[in-house]
Structure 1
Amino acid sequence: MFADQLGYQRCGYAGDRKARTPNIDKLASQAVDFQNAVSNMPVCSAYRASLFTGKYTTSTGMVINELRMRTDHETFGKVLTRSSYRTAYIGKWHLYANQLGHHYESKNSFVPPGPHRLGFDGYWAAYNFHHNYYSAYYHTDTPEKIFYGDNVYEPDAQTDMMIEFIRKASKSSKPFGAFLSYGTPHDPWVKDNVPDKYVEMFRDVSLPNPPNYKDTNDKYADNWGRLRPQQRKMLQTWRRLYYAMTANLDWNIGRLLNALEQAGLRDNTIVVFTSDHGEMFGAHGRRAKNIFYEEAARIPFLIRWPKNIRAGTVSDACISTVDFMPTILSLMGLQVPKSVEGMDLSYCALGSGGSEPQAALLQNTGACAAWEDGHEWRALRDKQYTYAVYRVDKSELLFDNKNDPYQMKNLAGNAQYKGTLERFRQILARKMKSLNDTFEKCTWYRDNWTDGNRNIIRAAKD
């Protein structure tokens, strides 16, 4: 199960007292909580490409949104299908359409059966991209849109479909691997995009600007990351609706966990909960995602496996999106493809020792969905610090996340941290060299890695 735009800090178990996430909190108490989990590139398509391949953005070529993924990668779905698993994929896909905008046209929303489903050859009830949760639709094996019905909230309907899949799967001896890709709590944050019951829960809740809020836009932000004056006035309303969406998401996760219990599958099912990235909401003068700051990059990552993973386990390993696939496949006893660039950190979940990443590598290769230069950066996050460098002017940032959780003090110019800064420079250089990541401007990827029609044809190691 993975949410869209749900940051780690917005969950009750992570310390947010205003979040209403009792089911996610309960799951965390029964699972291993990877408290340092981050999204390698905190934006929708890049995250999904890394999730399904175990590769970094510069190796998938998914450098901005609205590109069409290559089909020659070894993927999570292919491993499951080859291993005779029954697969299900429900929800947002965001790896097929090769056009900016026009999301509701079937040529962009429908992912045809075959290689573009990346191995998910079983049950399919998905769409490429949309975030209007009423009057919503999905596709199965034809371009025809299937609407959930009048006044049906999409996350509720998707949960119903997954519960039905679980019930059927429980009657078979064949193992299953099921992915539920929720759209919430991604914007638009308007009242008619959230059930009234949940809107009412947060109607009078105070959700003010955070300490690191800035009333001017970050000069490195793209158009998706900038705030207009009227949007700044809406920030508290947006947060209330975001929290309302998250509360509904939590309710649906509770329903899924209950369905596993009722089907007798609780003890022998590995349950994973995560998200693609968080949301800035004005912190550091930004909205949206696609940045190395904690609000955008840090994500929940929980794994429950009764009788194998001790309830309440906490890991501080520097796990990131590329590590999710090898870690989960290893727990399942399945072969991890050699092409995977992430690490198998299953031993962290199981409470044993082993090597860990020095730091998680984060990448940005352009604006959210446009071929626009000037926003690119690379970053590292270890158990204490975040280090980042922008391509456009070589500006560096260094934050002590333990002592400065809102990342308000840039230590890069502080002579006391010269050694720390140099250490991160060296780690970053070695990691980028190993990936053949040459840190190009966004339009270079367009000109060298796509066919000019937003179809990916190569990446860093090709």
Structure 2
Amino acid sequence: MKRRDFLATTAVGLASLGRALPASPDRPNLLFIMTDQQRHDALSIAGNPVLKTPNLDQLAREGAWFERAYTQCAVCAPARATILTGRTVAHHGVRSNGLAHVEEDSGVCPMKTFDELLTDRGYRCEYHGKWHMPIHRTACYRQFGVERKPKGRYRLRHFINYRAQLDRDVPRREPRQGEQMSEYGRPYTVDPMDRWFGLPSGQDARKSKRRQPDYHGRLEIPADHSMTAYQGRCTVEALQRAARQSAPFSITASINFPHSPILPTAPYYGMYPPEEITPPASISDPMTNSPYRRANGRTQMPEYADPDKIRYMISNYYGLVREIDDWVGRILEELDRLGLRENTLVIFTSDHGEMLGAHGMREKNVFYEESARIPLILRFPERIRGGTCVAEPVSNLDLFATIMDYLGAGRVASDGESLRDTIEGRSTRPGYIVTEWNYHGPREPNYMVTDGRWKLLTCYSPESSIVNALYDLQEDPHEMTNLLGRNPEREQYRDQGERMKGLLVAWLERIGHAEHAVGVAKRPVINPNILLPGLTEIGVVCGDPVAERGVAFERESSVTRNEPVEAGGRGGWRTVRRKPGNRFRYVYFTVDYADFESGAKPHCRVSLDYFDEGYTEVTIVYDSSDATVKVVPRAPGAWKPGVRFTVGDSKTWKRATFEIHDARFAHRQNGRDIRVQVQGDRELTFGGLTIEAIAPPPGGPGAPE
């Protein structure tokens, strides 16, 4: 739909509306536009040489654009909770996407959002689009229907209405040649990036066992029936309602994209041809000295490290962003038309970024710039000088305080601080920001601290075996050279790493995270637990604390929660089923030492220490290179049985050992290499796992002649 056509249609019924009712300048309005998973450089004003975002560029020229804005957490629900409450992840408690679906009595997110506080001050608040927060924080919103389900889960009326509209206006049809069925129940034309490319047409994403995290191609529905178009229209209608009222308003447009599925409609599909797109500079990064070698499915999804395929994803991602830009233009034109521009603070941002093939990854969850940096633009005529560009690092943790400041709502307790002084050039900010994530354990960095040039990634646990990372963003903007870790010249960067660690500790103390401040302070910036090449035995001791030496232990999974225990005079861990009816419990181990990975040591002796109690059936399987093993459809590897045994009841520690000669250890089973399967009524107590390189069998492959 062209802009002039859109304005013509929305003008119907507005003849009697005229301009907005007079608003008091001391009670400004708020228009908050938030996308999902839009990275910082998905704007042409940010220097993107391909993507064009004229409306967002214009918004930036009319207000303040932040060159180095970061998310407080590069995950949807935690980031959104921070934006709305002004609290850190540790304080608001939404520590994962799953915690967006909890009841009010859970204790998660007990503090009010900025819209709840504005409602208390007489504001009229509406919210349209993706929520992804605990539902008990929505009581302040008008037009916010919700269909509640057990255990805190819910469906938003917004999406129910969209699907109903789609069913009414876009008839369903069967996929044609080259098409598959999308999660919308409508066909999409498949791109080479998609795992269904070249397969028989008519597969249904909702039913097939061939699962994939994203979908790539052209969604076969008209552009004016896309979800972005629907959410844009809802926002325009909200502005029209607000214009009829005398009360000030806060309206949020929470647009679902460019988050997956990566399925733009025409004309946005192909608007930026794949052949004109340059793959990320870091797409082939081996990451041998990175804490994220196994993150985001790098080992199971090689398509995201394929330069030819990733061009299609980037092309479609840019198409989704361009559609958003068009709708931002329409929303802002309607704001002008209604006479609301001068007294409305407009904020545009995203919850987090998207890797788009950088370092061979997809999605977010990591502290790399592509994931952690976000777009941020503020416009407020007469209050924010047009053309303002802020270069120092800021965080979306500060948006809550900024909103309350500009709207004259007074100082409200939060963990951030208003950006107003920064915008007006009189900032006393410390000059660095902190991003947080992964409170489940010390398997990956929990904190990132950056001052704009130097960037440290570290963990709160002194015992963790992860590689600390220090990057010089000025000399290494693609973060391919970790100056710490296994870098032979790491000693010359120790002082710089310690300086950044000191900033992080100071922030943790100021925010009130004293326990983690102590842990970070104790953790050496050059980790002594890093293993040098040449070892012939690796393993993990599952005590308290866990000691990982080349093998990582997964403390919990979707069906099992492991917990530390004492048994037979020593520490161990015990499986705990999440549901009473679960037949199996699983313990997962991952090889985290390059000399044993990807088939480098096919001949191994694997040993599991366990406490002999309970008459439990145990099976240990491993990632094998054996071509005869059945392949799981959603992953390129498969489990092969190594040993099966029955736990007795001698009340002593024992060891189960088996030899394998086809070890792959390529992390192909959702990032794991060894699985211990427990079957029976009793739980298994285990004390660790070792993997020892052995000679090949006589006459076998690899045996000396």
Identify the residue that residue 370 of structure 2 maps to in structure 1. Answer: 295
| Structure 2 CA distance for partners of 1:58 and 1:437, relative to 1, 3 Å | farther
Identify the residue that residue 239 of structure 1 maps to in structure 2. Answer: 314
Letter in 2 for 1:194: P
Deviation at 1:344, TM superposition (A): 1.5
On the 8 A contact 2:471/2:479 being kept in 1, the answer is: yes
| Pairing partner for 2:114 from 43, 63, 76 | 76
Superposed, which structure 2 residues align to 1:255-294 within 5 Å?
255-294=330-369
Percent identical across equivalent pairs?
27
Identify the residue that residue 507 of structure 2 maps to in structure 1. Answer: 431
Which whole-Å CA distance do the structure 2 matches of 1:147 and 1:4 have between them? 23
Deviation at 1:157, TM superposition (A): 0.9
Letter in 2 for 1:362: T
Deviation at 1:287, TM superposition (A): 1.8
Which whole-Å CA distance do the structure 2 matches of 1:9 and 1:127 have between them? 36
Deviation at 1:144, TM superposition (A): 8.0
For structure 1, the 5+ residue unaligned runs are 97-110, 129-136, 454-462
Identify the residue that residue 95 of structure 1 maps to in structure 2. Answer: 133
Report the structure number with the largest CA radius of gyration.
2
Identify the residue that residue 342 of structure 1 maps to in structure 2. Answer: 416
Deviation at 1:358, TM superposition (A): 3.4
Letter in 2 for 1:124: F
Deviation at 1:416, TM superposition (A): 3.9
On the 8 A contact 1:224/1:288 being kept in 2, the answer is: no
The secondary structure found in structure 1 opposite 2:269 is helix
Deviation at 1:215, TM superposition (A): 5.8
Deviations 1:227-253 (A, max 9, x none): 512444431111111011011011011
Which whole-Å CA distance do the structure 1 matches of 2:147 and 2:380 have between them? 30
On the 8 A contact 1:235/1:282 being kept in 2, the answer is: yes
2:239 paired with 1:166: yes
Highest relative contact order (Cα 8 Å, sep 6+), 1 or 2? 1
Which whole-Å CA distance do the structure 1 matches of 2:453 and 2:508 have between them? 21
The secondary structure found in structure 2 opposite 1:184 is strand
Superposed, which structure 2 residues align to 1:183-332 within 5 Å?
183-189=256-262, 193-214=263-284, 219-223=292-296, 228-233=301-306, 234-332=309-407
Identify the residue that residue 458 of structure 2 maps to in structure 1. Answer: 389
On the 8 A contact 2:349/2:377 being kept in 1, the answer is: yes
On the 8 A contact 1:2/1:181 being kept in 2, the answer is: yes
| Pairing partner for 1:123 from 124, 143, 162 | 143
Bigger shift: 354-363 or 294-303? 354-363
Bigger shift: 326-335 or 219-228? 219-228
Deviations 1:394-430 (A, max 9, x none): 4221112123211222223544433321111112123
Identify the residue that residue 411 of structure 1 maps to in structure 2. Answer: 483
The secondary structure found in structure 2 opposite 1:409 is coil
| Structure 2 CA distance for partners of 1:298 and 1:231, relative to 1, 3 Å | closer
| Structure 2 CA distance for partners of 1:24 and 1:224, relative to 1, 3 Å | farther
The secondary structure found in structure 2 opposite 1:243 is helix
Which whole-Å CA distance do the structure 2 matches of 1:226 and 1:124 have between them? 41
2:120 paired with 1:50: no
Letter in 1 for 2:279: N
Deviations 1:32-72 (A, max 9, x none): 01111101111101100101111111112222212136352
On the 8 A contact 2:126/2:143 being kept in 1, the answer is: yes
Which whole-Å CA distance do the structure 2 matches of 1:209 and 1:200 have between them? 16
Deviations 1:312-352 (A, max 9, x none): 101123211211110121011113322x1111221222x14
On the 8 A contact 1:66/1:95 being kept in 2, the answer is: no
Query: What number of residue pairs does the alignment pair up?
Result: 414
Which whole-Å CA distance do the structure 2 matches of 1:401 and 1:77 have between them? 36
The secondary structure found in structure 1 opposite 2:436 is strand
2:496 paired with 1:420: yes
Deviation at 1:386, TM superposition (A): 1.2
| Structure 2 CA distance for partners of 1:243 and 1:146, relative to 1, 3 Å | closer
Which whole-Å CA distance do the structure 2 matches of 1:203 and 1:127 have between them? 41
Letter in 1 for 2:450: R
Bigger shift: 25-34 or 393-402? 393-402
Deviation at 1:180, TM superposition (A): 0.9
Which whole-Å CA distance do the structure 2 matches of 1:170 and 1:225 have between them? 49
Letter in 2 for 1:309: I
The secondary structure found in structure 1 opposite 2:87 is coil
The secondary structure found in structure 2 opposite 1:200 is coil
Which whole-Å CA distance do the structure 2 matches of 1:437 and 1:158 have between them? 42
| Pairing partner for 2:72 from 40, 44, 50 | 40
| Pairing partner for 2:157 from 139, 145, 151 | 139
| Structure 2 CA distance for partners of 1:19 and 1:31, relative to 1, 3 Å | same
For structure 2, the 5+ residue unaligned runs are 1-32, 103-107, 149-154, 171-220, 521-545, 547-553, 564-577, 580-705
Deviations 1:217-273 (A, max 9, x none): 775544556551244443111111101101101101111110101111111110000
Identify the residue that residue 103 of structure 1 maps to in structure 2. Answer: none
On the 8 A contact 1:89/1:125 being kept in 2, the answer is: no
| Pairing partner for 2:56 from 12, 15, 24 | 24
Deviation at 1:84, TM superposition (A): 0.8
On the 8 A contact 1:319/1:357 being kept in 2, the answer is: no
Bigger shift: 383-392 or 19-28? 383-392
Deviation at 1:9, TM superposition (A): 1.2
